[in-house]
């Protein structure tokens, strides 16, 4: 099967743990046909590290250098793509514009934290289910702002806060109450020619959840959505490629016949 992992990070990101070459080697070992590195470009940097300036966090020179090394070592063994995960664009639209205009193969648009708050990843729990629901309302509103900015190829992990609220801290929350808003959001994406991502990071380590889950994939498909990538969101070599094949099965179940790949920001469709 032609497997493509379209979401991953290297040490060119503040939270990556291996070089692009090491991640690419892992992709080859995992039997992938395409591997897209999508290092972080945070428009309102959330990383709690003293050596980073406030504002934009994207180490382009590091990515360029590491990508060139990986390409020279492994470019003949796998199709290697240069992607960027552009996040928090709504907090700094100028940075967002700069980031989505960097020449590359693929861009993800992301929302990791609400305006003025830390990344959900860094939040140390939630006070109550009600607090979670209020944050989800705010999240959906800010997601609309990210989509309004546009300029990226796929919207990443649409149900990102659930990764923490539900699956880390155990709150019984979902985004079902936002079905109308999500439907509207998906329609806007489709009109703009922007796709979505099936993030399969929740299939690792015995987990059985994806971001989003199958219901939202079916909704997107029923609205005419076709552009969709599948990504592991790997930050370690051992996570590269995990869950991609299962993700393809989910896409089929949701009515997709193809997965999307990118080169120079142009989509192609690969039969699954």
Rounded to the nearest 5 degrees, what angle is found at the Cα of 162, between the Cα atoms of 112 and 149?
35
- Interface with Zn ion includes 199 (CB under 5 A)? no
Query: Using CB under 5 A, which of 110, 159, 232, 261 touches Zn ion?
Result: 110
- Interface with Zn ion includes 159 (CB under 5 A)? no
- Interface with Zn ion includes 232 (CB under 5 A)? no
Q: Which residue is nearest to Zn ion (CB)?
A: 110
Q: Rounded to the nearest whole angstrom, what is the least distance from the CB of residue 108 to Zn ion in the complex?
A: 7
Considering only CA atoms, which of 260, 269, 226, 208 is closest in space to residue 83? 260
- Interface with Zn ion includes 229 (CB under 5 A)? no
Q: Rounded to the nearest whole angstrom, what is the least distance from the CB of residue 84 to Zn ion in the complex?
A: 10
Q: Rounded to the nearest whole angstrom, what is the least distance from the CB of residue 78 to Zn ion in the complex?
A: 20
Tell me the two tokens of residue 174: 């979902």
Q: Rounded to the nearest whole angstrom, what is the least distance from the CB of residue 52 to Zn ion in the complex?
A: 17
For 112-144, b/e burial (b = at least 16 CB within 10 A) is bbbeeeebbeebeebeeeeebbebbeebbebbe
Please choose, out of 61-69, 90-98, 117-125, 227-235, the segment that lies near Zn ion by the rule CB under 5 A: 227-235
Q: Rounded to the nearest whole angstrom, what is the least distance from the CB of residue 105 to Zn ion in the complex?
A: 16
Measured distance CA(231)–CA(242) in Å, rounded: 9
Bridge partners (DSSP) of residue 227 are none
Measured distance CA(197)–CA(216) in Å, rounded: 11
Binding site for Zn ion (CB under 5 A): 85, 110, 233
């Amino acid at each position: 099967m032609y497997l493509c992992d379209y979401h991953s990070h290297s040490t060119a990101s503040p939270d990556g743990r291996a070089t692009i070459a090491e991640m690419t080697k892992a992709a080859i070992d995992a039997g992938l046909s395409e591997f897209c590195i999508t290092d972080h470009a945070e428009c309102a940097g959330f990383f709690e590290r003293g050596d980073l300036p406030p504002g934009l966090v994207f180490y382009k020179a590091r990515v360029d250098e590491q990508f060139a090394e990986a390409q020279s070592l492994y470019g003949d063994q796998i199709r290697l793509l240069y992607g960027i995960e552009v996040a928090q664009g709504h907090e700094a639209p100028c940075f967002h514009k700069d980031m989505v205009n960097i020449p590359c193969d693929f861009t993800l648009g992301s929302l990791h934290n609400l305006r003025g708050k830390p990344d959900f990843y860094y939040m140390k729990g939630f006070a109550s289910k009600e607090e979670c629901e209020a944050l989800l309302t705010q999240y959906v509103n800010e997601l609309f702002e990210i989509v309004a900015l546009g300029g990226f190829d796929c919207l990443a992990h649409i149900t990102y806060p659930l990764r923490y609220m539900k699956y880390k801290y155990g709150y019984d929350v979902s985004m079902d109450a936002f079905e109308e808003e999500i439907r509207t959001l998906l329609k806007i994406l489709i009109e703009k020619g922007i796709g979505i991502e099936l993030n399969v990071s929740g299939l690792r380590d015995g987990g059985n959840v994806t971001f989003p889950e199958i219901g939202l994939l079916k909704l997107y498909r029923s609205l005419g959505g076709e552009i969709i990538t599948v990504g592991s969101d790997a930050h370690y070599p051992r996570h590269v490629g995990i869950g991609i094949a299962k993700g393809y099965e989910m896409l089929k179940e949701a009515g997709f016949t193809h997965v999307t790949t990118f080169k120079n920001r142009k989509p192609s469709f690969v039969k699954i």
